[in-house]
């Protein structure tokens, strides 16, 4: 199954090689201020047991990813405002879907390899604080749980890297 192997093609060599973008109403915006990031993969298996078998048979049918992160949210950042708006309106959890783009910029030049996927947005904790110089900020610990298969494609970043365009693989 192509999808299973494709998930592991990212190979960032150093911090900053892997960028996370969030689909917002205004476009696709860099999710800045991530202070910790952990991506885990869980197998999705189909298990069956037939009468004539001693043990059940399990087939790997896919892999679901889960992203845990802690983000320093600053007011004025489009992706941060979008996440805060969802939290404040109470529209977060398994019922809410966000679109994340994982971009590997270790390839050196544009277009960069990119994976687009729908995730559930699950906030864990939100703490108010400030980022020096009186800038209002929050620290958000959250989780994104995969809700769809990853779509492989390419990302063209804006000159400042704050926004991107996604180009999916052509249908064959």
Hey, what are 2's tokens?
A: 């192509």
Pick 61 or 101 by higher pLDDT.
Answer: 101
Dihedral sign from CA coordinates of 85, 87, 91, 96: positive
Percent with pLDDT over 70 in the chain:
81
Q: Is 164 exposed, middle or buried (0-12, 13-18, 19+ CB in 10 A)?
A: buried
* Residue 105 confidence (pLDDT) above 80: yes
Instruction: Return the higher-pLDDT residue of 119 and 65.
Output: 119
Average pLDDT over residues 147-159: 90
What span, in angstroms and rounded, lies between the C-alpha atoms of 25 and 11?
30
Q: Cα 87 from chain centroid? A: 17
Q: Is 106 in contact with 12 (CB distance < 8 Å)?
A: yes
User: What is the mean pLDDT of the segment spanning 77-93?
Assistant: 86
For residue range 132-142, list pLDDT tens digits in order.
555 667 888 99
What pairs with residue 61 in β-bridges?
none
Per the document, the length of the chain is 172
Indicate if the pLDDT at residue 125 is higher than 70. Answer: yes
Q: HEC states along 68-115?
A: EEEEEEECCCHHHHHHHHHHHHCCCEEEEEEEEEEEEHHHCCCCEEEE
* pLDDT tens-digit series, residues 1-15: 233 334 444 444 556
The residue whose two tokens read 């979008």 is 82
The CATH number, out of the four listed (4.10.410, 3.40.50, 3.90.550, 3.30.379), of the domain defined by the range 2-168? 4.10.410
- Write down the pLDDT at residue 96: 81
pTM summary value = 0.76
Task: Using DSSP, state whether 8 is helix, strand or coil.
Answer: helix
The per-residue pLDDT for 12 is: 47
Of 46-55, 125-134, 151-160, the range with the highest mean pLDDT is 151-160
Task: Give the model confidence (pLDDT) of 64-83 as tens digits.
Answer: 778 898 988 887 889 998 99
CA 45, 23, 6, 11 dihedral sign is negative
Nearest to 68, CA basis, from 147, 144, 150: 144
Task: Give the pLDDT band (50/70/90) at residue 119.
Answer: very high
**What is the model's pLDDT at position 171?**
58
């Amino acid at each position: 199954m192509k999808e299973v192997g494709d998930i592991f093609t990212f190979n960032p060599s150093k911090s900053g090689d892997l960028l996370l973008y969030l689909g917002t109403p205004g476009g696709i915006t860099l999710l800045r201020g991530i202070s910790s990031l952990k991506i885990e993969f869980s197998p999705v298996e189909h298990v069956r047991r037939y009468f004539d078998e001693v043990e059940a048979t399990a087939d790997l049918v896919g892999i679901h990813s889960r992203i845990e992160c802690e983000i320093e949210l600053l007011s004025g950042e489009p992706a941060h405002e979008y996440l805060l708006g969802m939290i404040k309106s109470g529209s977060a959890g398994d019922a809410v879907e966000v679109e994340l783009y994982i971009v590997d910029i270790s390839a050196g030049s544009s277009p960069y390899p990119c994976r687009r996927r729908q995730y559930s947005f699950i906030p864990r904790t939100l703490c108010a604080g400030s980022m020096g110089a009186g800038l209002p900020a929050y620290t958000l610990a959250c989780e994104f749980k995969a809700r769809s298969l990853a779509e492989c494609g390419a990302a063209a970043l804006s000159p400042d890297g704050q926004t991107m365009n996604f180009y999916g693989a052509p249908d064959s």
